[in-house]
Amino acid sequence: MKKYDVYGVGNALVDSEYEIHEAFLETAGIRKGTTALIELEDRVKLLEMLKKHEHQVIKQAGGGSAANTIVAVSQLGGNSFYTCRVANDAIGDFFLKDLAEAGVDTNMSGKASQRDAGHTGECISMITPDAERTMATHLGITANVALTDIDETAIQNSTYLYLEGYMVSSPDNFRVCQKAQEIARAAGVKVSLTLSDPAMVENFRSEFNTLISKGVDLVFCNREEAMLWSNTTTSQDAIKALESRFPSFALTLGSSGSVVYDGRLHEIASVPVKAVDTTGAGDIFAGSFLYGITNGMSFSEAGALGSRAASLLVSNFGARLSQDEMNRLRQT
| Kind plus residue range of the DSSP H or E element containing 134 | strand 133-140
Q: Domain residue spans in the chain?
A: 4-10+63-107+149-331
Query: Can you spell out the DSSP letters for 248-263?
Result: EEEEE-GGG-EEEESS
What's the mean pLDDT in 100-109?
Answer: 92
Examine the pLDDT at 113 and tell me if it is beyond 80. no
- CA dist 18 and 14 (Å) reads 13
pLDDT in tens, 227-256: 999 999 999 999 999 999 999 999 999 889
Examine the pLDDT at 204 and tell me if it is beyond 70. yes
- CA dist 153 and 112 (Å) reads 22
Q: Which residues of 75-112 are buried (b: 16+ CB within 10 A; e: fewer)?
A: bbebbbbbbbbbbbbebbeebbebbeebebbbbbeeee
Q: What is the dihedral of CA 323, 285, 205, 148, to 10 degrees?
A: 30
Q: Say how many CA atoms lie within 13 Å of 59 toward its Cβ.
A: 17
Examine the pLDDT at 65 and tell me if it is beyond 70. yes
| Strand runs labelled E in 158-236 | 158-164, 190-194, 218-222
CA–CA–CA angle 53, 59, 60 (5° rounding): 105
4-10+63-107+149-331 is a CATH 3.60.110.10 domain: no
What's the mean pLDDT in 134-139?
Answer: 91
Q: Do residues 172 and 215 make contact, with C-beta atoms less than 8 angstroms apart?
A: no
**In the structure, what pLDDT confidence band is assigned to residue 209 with cuts at 50, 70 and 90?**
very high
**Which pLDDT score, from 0 to 100, does residue 112 have?**
53
**Which pLDDT score, from 0 to 100, does residue 61 have?**
86
What are the angstrom distances between the C-alpha of 267 and each of 236, 256, 296? Answer: 12, 10, 19
What are the angstrom distances between the C-alpha of 266 and each of 111, 131, 226, 249, 269? Answer: 44, 27, 17, 11, 10
For residue 57, the 8-state DSSP code is E
What's the mean pLDDT in 165-185?
Answer: 96
What's the mean pLDDT in 116-142?
Answer: 91
CA–CA–CA angle 288, 294, 295 (5° rounding): 85
Q: At what angle do helices 65-75 and 281-293 cross, to 10 degrees?
A: 40
Examine the pLDDT at 16 and tell me if it is beyond 60. yes
- Please classify residue 250 by burial: count the beta carbons closer than 10 Å to its beta carbon, then call 0-12 exposed, 13-18 middle and 19+ buried: buried
Return the SS3 of 189.
coil
Examine the pLDDT at 269 and tell me if it is beyond 60. yes
**In the structure, what pLDDT confidence band is assigned to residue 110 with cuts at 50, 70 and 90?**
low
pLDDT in tens, 305-314: 999 999 999 9
